[in-house]
Amino acid sequence: MRHIAVIGGGHAGCEAALAAARIGARVTLFAMSLDGIAMMPCNPCIGGSAKGHLVREIDALGGEMGKAIDAVFLQSRMLNTGKGPAVYSLRAQADKKRYMAYMKQALEREPNIVLREGEVVEIITAPDAEKGEPSPLLMPRVTAVRTESGAVTECDAVVVCSGTYLNARCLYGETVTETGPGGQRCSRRLSACLREMGFTLQRFKTGTPARVHRRSIDFTKMAVQHGDEKTVPFSFETDPAQITREQIPCYLTYTTPETHAIIRGDIHRSAMYSGLITATGTRYCPSIEDKVVRFADKERHPVFIEPEGENTEEMYVQGMSSALPEDVQERVYRSVPGLENVEIMRYAYAIEYDCIDATQLTLGLEAKHIGGLFFAGQICGSSGYEEAAAQGLVAGVNAAGKTMHITRAQGYVGVLIDDLVTKGTAEPYRMMTSRAEYRLLLRQDNADLRLTPLGYQAGLIPEERYLRFLQKKDLIEAEIKRLKSTTISPEIANPMLTKRNSAPLSSGAKLADLIKRPELDYGDITELDVQATLECPISPSFVLDAVREQVNIQIKYEGYIAMQQTLAEQFTKIESRPLPPDLDYENIHGLRIEARQKLMKHRPANFGQASRITGVSPADLGILMIYMKTKTHRNETENE
């Protein structure tokens, strides 16, 4: 039985441990504090645009995040419903404490997982990993990890999920504390170990706003934001009918010219502007100082007040992340309508931490130069719980010895990992729908159709869930086929068509063609279609709603989906042509020098990945193809 050591119990670590354990590996998850498992140190929400897609994909692959948030959410909304099926995005406010408790217990209940409190300070390899370029023949492999006490735990693979804890510093005003997020102990020694192993470290920065007391907020001055009446769960396995809880509202207010004036007056006291912070920040979560400076002509910025949980009075102030000193933060927050008398419980702060250059990793998130060493989450340069969890799952599966490589054409998970390891990132990376080339294929509604077979192959999807999945899939296909082959007469269709302001038929038409009309959908058709009796004997009945949604989308957008499908197939073809990891690009005649250097540095796994490296042209790829052909030809001739 393979033994996997997972370092860190955040969102990446949890999914990595669960995935590895579920496919049969023995897992020890090391966390500096077991009370910090699955902590949400920043915003109290899961999902949102593109991130919601990731959660659905994690669920489709057999991960835990979707089930966890379904169990503990306080408010749920489907965003972007007017903007098209590709970008429907689910977002839910989480009860932070209950989320942590849920996830900790999920880990505890997994037979193959041991949770261990302790700080891993060293990763041990054999032979010793030296600085510089190791020879591929003598590539070191991890053999064990050492904790601060000196205890050595032997293992076959390590997944580093250290989040923002490596050499972390929290800063606001002139206050600098050497801690991880939320005052947690940070890790001081692992960074040096990674550097010695030949990893390039970068220093990134992110931040979080203040937490304030509910009783000090005047909600009458804010707009209320309620959840959806009919909630859609994240997990394909959660029955929406089982979700009956009362949803808690969020609130919206805005900064004022006074807010901006206060910030401008004291900007020099922000750790971000005083020179205290040197790390690279992200454009995805700008501080309020950044917003005011960079968008000086904007009169106001939105501020969202969100609950942190049901059993706490703390509220999260989204949009007001800052590194200003306490006294300025007080004045800034109090200049916002509704927050005039606000009681700040925890001040906003910025956090700096070490992460690696993810271009040193394979598409399986394993180090290219050290066998058995995997990375996932913010250590790879990403930001966000969902991004971390998605990487954790993939790293966990690969560490456990199964190969899981999701392509850009298969999921946002694939886009995320490919972006990180192929291009790298110069700032904390956030998932966005515009990063995906085949957005119309990668919808949140069909994540299971895309990825559940991969989860099953890896061993993450139990047999009975997979059977239910196959039945759902068959049902969708059969129904689409039926709608395309069934003709409806004008006599039956026209009364409904007239009612819907849709052009009446003069002769029979296929049901599918009616569904394609912009003003109609599958629901309208089933009204007059007596044959429509969907049955799904082994699944709960809510699955039928998912089937109907799927049938409707697949028929309505058939043309556009087919177009993207063609592009995706071309992409997959080139993606499936491997490049050997030890190819000597320096000596390939005809490659441009820039291309040689880039290819040597990145060592792409296949032609597709090579094509996405900046500085590698289509002609360079042509030369590579010719070279590879020559090489195989030569080998064949030599073997004859």
Partner 1 sequence: MTDNDVIAAVATPPGRGAVGIVRLSGAGAADVLKAIFLPAGGRVKSFASHQMYYGKVVHNKSVIDEVMLCCMRAPRSFTREDVVEIYAHGGFSTMYGVLDAVLDNGARLALPGEFTKRAFLNGRINLTQAEAVMDLVNANNEAARAAGLRQLGGGLSNRVAACRDTILRWLANIALSIDYPEHEEETLNRDTIITEGQALLAEMQALLKTAEVGRVLREGVKTAIVGAPNAGKSTLLNAILGEDRAITHELPGTTRDVLTEQVRVNGVPLVLMDTAGLRKTNDPVELLGLGRTHEAIRNAELILQVVDGGVKYKDPAIHKYGEKQKTIIIVNKCDLPLTDEWEWSDLVIPVSAKTGQGLDRLYETIKKTFLTGARDVGINDFAESDVITRERHRLLINEAIGHVADGIEAFERNETEDIAAIPLRAAYLSLGHILGLEYADDIIDRIFAEFCVGK
**Contact residues for partner 1, defined by CB under 8 A:** 42-43, 49-50, 79-80, 82-87, 89, 283-286, 291, 294-295, 298, 301-302, 304, 318-319, 321, 432-435, 439-440, 518, 557, 560, 563-564, 570, 573-574, 589-590, 592, 611, 614, 617-623, 625-627, 629-630, 633-634
> The tokens of 215 are what?
């009783």
Q: By the 8 A CB rule, do 459 and 22 touch?
A: yes
Choice between 304 and 469, CB closer to partner 1:
304
Choice between 118 and 319, CB closer to partner 1:
319
Q: By the 8 A CB rule, do 39 and 124 touch?
A: no
Contacts of 237 (CB under 8 A, 6+ apart): 59, 67, 465
Helix (H, G, I), strand (E, B) or coil at 324: coil
Choice between 3 and 443, CB closer to partner 1:
443
> The tokens of 623 are what?
């030369």
The region that residue 275 occupies, defined by phi over 0 for left and psi between -120 and 50 for alpha, beta otherwise, is left
Q: By the 8 A CB rule, do 551 and 522 touch?
A: yes
Q: By the 8 A CB rule, do 394 and 365 touch?
A: yes
> The tokens of 434 are what?
């515009």
Q: Taking the CB of residue 584, how many other CB atoms lie within 10 A of it?
A: 10
Choice between 406 and 588, CB closer to partner 1:
588
CB of 105 to partner 1, least distance (A): 28
Choice between 221 and 634, CB closer to partner 1:
634
**H-helix or E-strand containing 627?**
helix 618-639
Helix (H, G, I), strand (E, B) or coil at 395: helix
Contacts of 68 (CB under 8 A, 6+ apart): 38, 99, 102, 103, 106
Instruction: Transcribe 286-316 into DSSP letters.
Output: --HHHHHHHTTT----EEEEEES-TT--EEE
Strands 509-510 and 487-488, by their bridges, are antiparallel
Place of tokens 């990403």: 382
CB of 117 to partner 1, least distance (A): 31
Place of tokens 């086929």: 481
Choice between 187 and 446, CB closer to partner 1:
446
Choice between 226 and 573, CB closer to partner 1:
573
Choice between 111 and 518, CB closer to partner 1:
518
Choice between 7 and 350, CB closer to partner 1:
350
- Phi and psi angles of residue 280, each rounded to the nearest 5 degrees, phi first: -80, 120
Q: In what order do the strands lie in the sheet with 45-47?
A: 45-47, 89-94, 73-79
Q: By the 8 A CB rule, do 618 and 611 touch?
A: yes
β-pair partners for 142: 125
